[in-house]
Chains A and B, each alone.
Chain A
Amino acid sequence: MSYAPARPSACPACDAAPAAEALAARAPLPGARLLLSVPAVHCAACISSIERDLAQMDGVNSARLNLTLKRLSVDARAGIAAQDVIARLDRLGYEAHEMDAGTLSMTETEKQGRDLLMRVGVSGFAMMNVMLLSVAVWAGAEGATRDLFHLISALIAIPTVAFAGQPFFRNAWRALRAGRMDMDGPISFAIILTLFISLYESLLSGKHAYFEAVVMLIFFLLVGRYLDFRARAVARSAAQELAALEVPRAIRVSGGAEATVSVADLAVGDVVLVRPGGRVPVDGVVVAGQSEIDRALLTGETLPVFAAEGHVVSAGEVNLTGPLQVRVTAAGKDSSLHRMADLVANAESARLRYTTIAERAAAAYAPTIPIVSLAAFVIWYWISGGDLRLSMNIAVASLIITCPCALGLAVPAVVTSASGKLFRKGLLIKDGTALERLAEVDTVIFDKTGTLTLGTPAPTNLDQHGPEVLAVALALSEGSSHPLAQALARALRDRGLVPAALDGVSEVAGYGIEAQWQGARVRLGRAAWVGATPRSVTAAYLAIGAQTHAFTFADQLRPGAAEVVAALQAQGKAVKLMSGDVPAAVGDLAARLGIADWQAEALPQDKAAAITALHEAGHKVLMVGDGLNDTVALSVAHVSISPASALDAARAASDMVLLGRDLSPVADALHLSKTAMRRIRENLWQSGIYNIIFVPIALFGFATPLWAAFVMSISSITVTLNALRLK
Chain B
Amino acid sequence: MEVLAVLIPVSLFLGFLGLGAFLWSLRKGMYDDPDGDSQRILDPRYDDKPKPVTPEEEGR
Contact = CB atoms under 8 A, between A and B. Distances in A.
B43 interface: yes
A48 B36 CA distance: 11
Contacts of A121: 19, 22-23, 26
Interface residues on A, range: 20 to 34
Contacts of B36: 47, 65-68
Contacts, number: 63
A117 B15 CA distance: 18
Contacts of B42: 44
Contacts of B33: 66-69
A62 B58 CA distance: 13
Interface in A233-276: none
A145 B4 contact: yes
Contact of A125 (B1, B15, B43, B54): B15
A145 B39 CA distance: 49
Contacts of B40: 44, 47
A23 interface: no
Nearest to A110: B32
A114 interface: yes
A128 B56 contact: no
Contact of B8 (A47, A61, A152): A152
A158 to B, nearest CB: 15
Contacts of A122: 19
B35 A68 contact: yes
Interface string A43-75: 110011000100000000110111111000101
B23 A118 contact: yes
B11 A43 contact: no
Contact of A129 (B15, B26, B34): B15
Interface in A370-425: none
Contacts of B55: 61-62, 75
Interface residues on B, range: 20 to 34
A125 B26 contact: no
Contact of B32 (A68, A75, A118, A125): A68
A125 B15 CA distance: 7
B23 to A, nearest CB: 7
A47 B43 contact: yes
A125 B18 contact: yes
B45 interface: yes
A44 B42 CA distance: 7
A68 B45 CA distance: 20
A20 to B, nearest CB: 33
Contacts of B15: 125, 128-129
A727 B13 CA distance: 43
B6 interface: no
Interface centre among A47, A114, A152 (most CB of B within 10 A): A47
Contacts of B1: 145
A64 B43 CA distance: 14
Interface string B28-57: 000111111001101101000000001110
A724 interface: no
Contacts of A52: 45
Given A44-B43, A121-B19, A132 B54 contact: no
A52 B12 CA distance: 46
Contacts of B23: 118, 121
Contact of A48 (B8, B18, B45): B45
Contacts of A73: 56
A59 B22 CA distance: 37
A43 B8 CA distance: 46
Given A121-B23, A125-B19, A125-B22, A64 B32 contact: no
Contacts of A62: 54-56
B32 A48 contact: no
Contacts of B39: 43-44, 47, 67
A156 B12 CA distance: 9
Nearest to B37: A67
Contacts of B43: 44, 47-48
A117 B36 CA distance: 19
Contacts of B35: 67-68
Nearest to A63: B54
Nearest to B15: A129
B19 A68 contact: no
Interface string A134-154: 000000000001001000100
Contact of B54 (A75, A114, A156): A75
A48 B54 CA distance: 16
B12 A129 contact: yes
Contacts of B31: 117
Interface centre among B1, B34, B36, B54 (most CB of A within 10 A): B36
Interface in A63-99: 64-69, 73, 75
Nearest to B9: A152
Contacts of A117: 26, 31
Contacts of A132: 11
Nearest to B60: A106
A152 B36 CA distance: 41
A68 B30 CA distance: 12
B1 to A, nearest CB: 7
Given A117-B31, A118-B23, A64 B12 contact: no
Contacts of B8: 152
Nearest to A46: B39
Interface string A24-46: 00000000010000000001100
B56 A114 contact: no
Query: Nearest 10 CB-CB pairs, A to B?
Result: A67-B36, A44-B39, A125-B19, A67-B35, A129-B15, A44-B42, A68-B35, A66-B33, A121-B22, A68-B33
9 contacts: A62-B55, A65-B36, A68-B36, A75-B54, A118-B26, A121-B19, A129-B12, A129-B15, A148-B4
Interface of A: 33, 43-44, 47-48, 52, 61-62, 64-69, 73, 75, 114, 117-118, 121-122, 125, 128-129, 132, 145, 148, 152, 156
Given A121-B22, A148-B4, 17 more contacts: A43-B39, A48-B43, A48-B45, A62-B54, A64-B54, A66-B36, A67-B33, A67-B36, A67-B39, A68-B35, A75-B54, A121-B19, A121-B26, A122-B19, A128-B15, A128-B18, A129-B11
